[in-house]
Chains A and B, each alone.
Chain A
Amino acid sequence: MHGMTSYFIRRLLLVPVTFICITLLVYTVIRLAPGGPIEQAKQQMRAAAASEGGAGGSSAMGDTGTLELPQEAIDQLKAYYKLDKPIVVGYLIWLGAWPDEAKGGKFSGIIQLDFGKSYRYSDSVLTTIASKFPISIYFGLIGYFATWLVCVPLGIQKALRHRSMFDTGTSLVVFIGYSIPDFVAALLLMLLFATPMLGPQFELFPLGGFRSENWDDMWAKGETWWCIRDQIHHTFIPVVAYIMGGFATMTILMKNSLLDNLGADYVRTAFAKGLGERRVVFIHALRNSMIPLCVGIGHAIGLIFAGSFLIEKTCNIQGMGLLGFNSLIGRDYPVIMGVLVFGVLIRLFGNIFSDMILAVVDPRVRFR
C-alpha cells in the first residue's frame, strides 16, 4: 500500500509540470497564429469605414486599403495584449509568475486566480466560464450516468442471451445509433418530437434551450414541480444525443467482457462450489468484466467537461463547447486559455482518479 501512496503522490507532483508544459505550448501557438487582436481591431476599423463609405454613397473603396490604425494605437493595443513582450514573459505574466506593469507591477495571473478579461465581452473570464460550466457538467454527468445505467444492464442481458433474437435486435439498434452523428440525432429527434411533424400529440419536447425563459420567475413563485418538469423536458433530447455515440462502444464492451469472463475457469470453479447462477454471474463474472469499463473513466471525465459543440449548437445550449468554439473564432485569448486551464486540470486529475478506481476494482493492479 505504501508503494501505491507514493505512486499517487508522484502523480500529483507531476500535475503542475504537465500543466505548465501544455499551457505554454498553447500560449505559444496562439501568439504565433495569424488573426490576433491587432488584426481584428484593424479589420473592425475597415469594416466600420466601409459601411460609412457605403452610407455616403461615394467611391471610398480606394481609401479602405490605405485606412490604417495610427501607430500609437497599435502600440497601445500591443502593450495591452502583452504582444510587445517576448512570448515567455507574456506567458509568465499570464501565469502570475512575472510582475504585470499594467497592474502596477503586481503579480496577477492564473496562480492568483486572475484569469483576465474576455476581449469580446468585457466580463471577467472566470465569470464567463462559471456561467457555462454548470450547464456542460449538467448534461455531461446526466449523459454519462445514463450511458452506464443503460449500457451495463443491456450489455449483461446481451451476454446472457448471446445470439438470441434479443441480442441481434439490440445490436442492430445500437449500431444504427452508433452510425448517426450525435448532432444529426439531435436534429432528427427535434424534428420528430419537438415539431408537429408527426402530429401535435408527438410534439413532446421544446426546440432546444437549457430551460424555458420564465423558469427563474416560476422558481421564485415556488412552482418547483413545474420547474423540474420543464428542466427534464429540455434535458431529454440533448442527453439522448450525447449518449448515442458512446452507447455502442460501452454496450458491446460490457457484453464481450462479460462473455469472456463467463467462459473463464474461475466461473466453472464457482459453479463447482454449488453457487447459484445469479451469484456466479453478478458477483464473480460481473466484477471482473467491469474492469475494462473503469479504464475509460478518466477519458470520460474530460469529455463531460468539454461538452459537445455540435450538440450545444443544434440544441441551443450555452455550454462550454460553444464557448470554446466561439472564443477560438473570435481570437478571445483569455477565454481560450481559461477554458484550457479547466480542461487540462480536469483531465489530469481525472486520469489520476481513474487509476485510483482501477486499483480499487482490480487488486492485481499495483502502481509503483
Chain B
Amino acid sequence: MSDAAGRKKLLEVKNLKTYFDVEEQTAKAVDGVSFHIYANEVFGIVGESGSGKSVTSLSVMRLIPNPPGRIEDGEILFEGKDLLKLPYAEMRKIRGNEISMIFQEPMTALNPVFTIGFQLREAIRQHTPGMSKAQANVRAAEMLSLVGIPDAERRLKNYPHEFSGGMRQRAMIAMALALEPKLLIADEPTTALDVTIQAQILELMMSVREKTGDASILLITHDLAVVAETCERVAVMYGGKIQEIASVEDLFREPLHPYTQGLLLSLPRPDREKRRRLDTIPGIVPSILDMPSGCKFATRCPLEELQCEEKEPELREVLPGRFCRCHLVDGVARATVGSGAWGNGR
C-alpha cells in the first residue's frame, strides 16, 4: 500500500496484459505493464498512438470491449482491492464514483438525445441512493458553474449539440468530478480541442480537482507539453510496454531511454538553436501483430546492438525512483543519443 517514502499508493497496476483477438492472431496491446499512482498524485502516461496507453486506462475501468479484447493477466489494485477480481456489481459501484473517466472526444462522449442535466443527474444519482431529482439537479448546477459554465441552471436543459467542444469537455469534467472520486482517468482530454481551449481545460481540470476532494489523476496523452505542465511522475509507453518511469523533472532534464530522448529531441524548443529542422524518430511503430521479439524499440533505435534484437530488456530501477527498459542504460553508464544520431534534422 505504501512505499519506502511512506506515500500511500492509491492504484497499483501489476503486470497488466490486455490482448485483442484479431482474425486468428493476438494483438498484445498492453503486455506486462506495471506502475503505481500515489494518493493525490498526477501521473502521466505518454506514448504514440497504438502504444497501449488508452487500453491501459480502459483496463483499469474494466471497459475493454469483450470480444475482441480481454484482460489476460495482471492485477489492478485500487486501495488494495484487485479490481480484476471484483464481482461486476461491485465494479459498477466503483465506476464513476471512486474512479471516473474523461474521454478524448467530447463531441461523441455525451449522448446526443439527452440533456446535459439528465446525464449529470444520472451520474450523481447512480451512486447516491435516495437522492431526489431536485437535489441532484442542484448538485449538477453547482458542478456546471464550478467548471465555468455561466447560467448553469438554464444550461442543464441544453442538449450536447447546443454546447461547443470546450463546453462539452467542461461538462464531462463536471460529471466526472461530481462525486469526488479518488482517481480521475483523463484519456487525452484535450486532444480533440482547439489549441486555445486546451490550456484552459487542463487548468480547469486541475483546479476543479483541488476543489473536489483532490483526486489522483491518471493522465493519458501524447503531448509532452501537457505532461510537463501537469504531472508529477510520468511513464513512457512504447509497443504495449512501459519503457521509462521518472519524475517529470528528471525525465525532461535527463531522459534515459533512447525512445524518450528521441521524443524530447523532436520537441520544438525556444532555447535551442533556431532555423533548424526538428529531429524526428525515423520509421514507424511496428504493427502490433508483428512486434520485434527483443526490445520493442530496436527497429528504430540508433544505438541498437545485437543483444537488443535478441533479448527483451527488463524494466529496471536504474536510479532511485527511475525505471528504464534498456540494455544500455543502468545507474552508472548511460547511453546518450546526440541530436545528430537520428540521421536527420539538419
Residues of chain A touching chain B, judged by Cβ–Cβ distance below 8 Å, are 263-266, 268-276, 284, 287-288, 291, 361-364
- In the assembled complex, the Cα of A329 lies from the Cα of B92 at a distance in Å of 67
25 pairs from A and B in contact (CB 8 Å cutoff): A264-B108, A265-B109, A266-B112, A268-B63, A269-B111, A269-B172, A271-B63, A271-B95, A272-B61, A272-B95, A273-B95, A273-B100, A273-B122, A273-B123, A274-B94, A274-B97, A275-B96, A275-B126, A284-B111, A287-B111, A287-B113, A287-B114, A288-B111, A288-B113, A363-B113
Structural contact, A275 and B122, CB atoms closer than 8 A: yes
Number of A-B contacts (CB under 8 A): 71
Residues of chain A contacted by B159 (CB below 8 angstroms): 363-364
Residues of chain A contacted by B113 (CB below 8 angstroms): 287-288, 291, 361-364
Residues of chain B touching chain A, judged by Cβ–Cβ distance below 8 Å, are 61, 63, 65, 92-97, 100-101, 103, 105, 108-114, 122-123, 126-127, 159, 161, 172, 175
Structural contact, A274 and B95, CB atoms closer than 8 A: yes
Best-buried of B93, B126, B127, B159 by chain A (most CB within 10 Å): B126
Pick from A266, A274, A288: contact of B109, CB below 8 A. Answer: A266
- Whether A274 touches B103, Cβ cut-off 8 Å, given contacts A266-B109, A361-B113, is no
Residues of chain A contacted by B112 (CB below 8 angstroms): 266, 288, 362-364
Taking the nearest CB of chain B, how far is it from the CB of A262, in angstroms?
A: 9
Structural contact, B61 and A270, CB atoms closer than 8 A: no
Residues of chain B contacted by A270 (CB below 8 angstroms): 111
- Whether A363 touches B161, Cβ cut-off 8 Å, given contacts A266-B109, A288-B111, is yes
Structural contact, B175 and A265, CB atoms closer than 8 A: no
Taking the nearest CB of chain A, how far is it from the CB of B113, in angstroms?
A: 5
Known contacts A269-B110, A272-B101, then 20 further A-B pairs from the complex at CB < 8 Å, ordered by chain A residue: A265-B103, A266-B108, A268-B109, A269-B103, A272-B61, A272-B63, A272-B96, A273-B123, A274-B92, A274-B93, A274-B95, A274-B96, A275-B96, A276-B92, A284-B111, A284-B114, A288-B112, A361-B113, A363-B113, A363-B161
In order of increasing CB-CB distance, the 6 nearest A-B pairs are A274-B96, A273-B96, A274-B95, A265-B108, A266-B111, A273-B123
- In the assembled complex, the Cα of A263 lies from the Cα of B105 at a distance in Å of 14
Structural contact, A273 and B126, CB atoms closer than 8 A: yes
Residues of chain B contacted by A264 (CB below 8 angstroms): 108
Pick from A269, A275, A364: contact of B161, CB below 8 A. Answer: A364
- In the assembled complex, the Cα of A284 lies from the Cα of B108 at a distance in Å of 13
Which residue of the partner chain A has the closest CB to B175? A273
Which residue of the partner chain B has the closest CB to A162? B67
Which residue of the partner chain B has the closest CB to A263? B65
- In the assembled complex, the Cα of A275 lies from the Cα of B124 at a distance in Å of 11
- In the assembled complex, the Cα of A363 lies from the Cα of B61 at a distance in Å of 30
Taking the nearest CB of chain A, how far is it from the CB of B198, in angstroms?
A: 19
- In the assembled complex, the Cα of A268 lies from the Cα of B63 at a distance in Å of 7
- In the assembled complex, the Cα of A287 lies from the Cα of B119 at a distance in Å of 14
Structural contact, B109 and A269, CB atoms closer than 8 A: yes
Which residue of the partner chain A has the closest CB to B95? A274
- In the assembled complex, the Cα of A271 lies from the Cα of B92 at a distance in Å of 8
- In the assembled complex, the Cα of A216 lies from the Cα of B105 at a distance in Å of 64
Structural contact, A272 and B100, CB atoms closer than 8 A: yes
Residues of chain B contacted by A263 (CB below 8 angstroms): 65
Taking the nearest CB of chain B, how far is it from the CB of A67, in angstroms?
A: 72
Residues of chain B contacted by A291 (CB below 8 angstroms): 113
- In the assembled complex, the Cα of A258 lies from the Cα of B46 at a distance in Å of 34
Taking the nearest CB of chain B, how far is it from the CB of A285, in angstroms?
A: 9
Residues of chain B contacted by A288 (CB below 8 angstroms): 111-113
Best-buried of B105, B110, B111, B175 by chain A (most CB within 10 Å): B111
- Whether A274 touches B126, Cβ cut-off 8 Å, given contacts A265-B108, A269-B110, is yes
Which residue of the partner chain A has the closest CB to B94? A274
- In the assembled complex, the Cα of A291 lies from the Cα of B113 at a distance in Å of 10
- In the assembled complex, the Cα of A269 lies from the Cα of B94 at a distance in Å of 14
Residues of chain B contacted by A276 (CB below 8 angstroms): 92
Best-buried of A263, A270, A274, A291 by chain B (most CB within 10 Å): A274
Which residue of the partner chain B has the closest CB to A285? B111
Residues of chain B contacted by A361 (CB below 8 angstroms): 113
Which residue of the partner chain B has the closest CB to A273? B96
Which residue of the partner chain B has the closest CB to A272? B101
Taking the nearest CB of chain A, how far is it from the CB of B312, in angstroms?
A: 32
- In the assembled complex, the Cα of A264 lies from the Cα of B113 at a distance in Å of 13
Structural contact, B103 and A268, CB atoms closer than 8 A: yes
- In the assembled complex, the Cα of A287 lies from the Cα of B159 at a distance in Å of 14
Residues of chain B contacted by A363 (CB below 8 angstroms): 112-113, 159, 161
Residues of chain B contacted by A266 (CB below 8 angstroms): 108-112
Taking the nearest CB of chain A, how far is it from the CB of B291, in angstroms?
A: 27
Which residue of the partner chain B has the closest CB to A280? B111
Best-buried of B113, B126, B159, B175 by chain A (most CB within 10 Å): B113
- In the assembled complex, the Cα of A263 lies from the Cα of B66 at a distance in Å of 12
Which residue of the partner chain A has the closest CB to B98? A274
- In the assembled complex, the Cα of A274 lies from the Cα of B123 at a distance in Å of 8
- In the assembled complex, the Cα of A272 lies from the Cα of B61 at a distance in Å of 7
Taking the nearest CB of chain A, how far is it from the CB of B252, in angstroms?
A: 31
Taking the nearest CB of chain B, how far is it from the CB of A143, in angstroms?
A: 28
Which residue of the partner chain A has the closest CB to B111? A266
Residues of chain A contacted by B114 (CB below 8 angstroms): 284, 287
Residues of chain B contacted by A274 (CB below 8 angstroms): 92-97, 123, 126-127
Which residue of the partner chain A has the closest CB to B161? A364
- In the assembled complex, the Cα of A257 lies from the Cα of B111 at a distance in Å of 15
- In the assembled complex, the Cα of A264 lies from the Cα of B110 at a distance in Å of 10
Which residue of the partner chain B has the closest CB to A290? B113
Taking the nearest CB of chain B, how far is it from the CB of A367, in angstroms?
A: 15
Residues of chain B contacted by A271 (CB below 8 angstroms): 63, 95
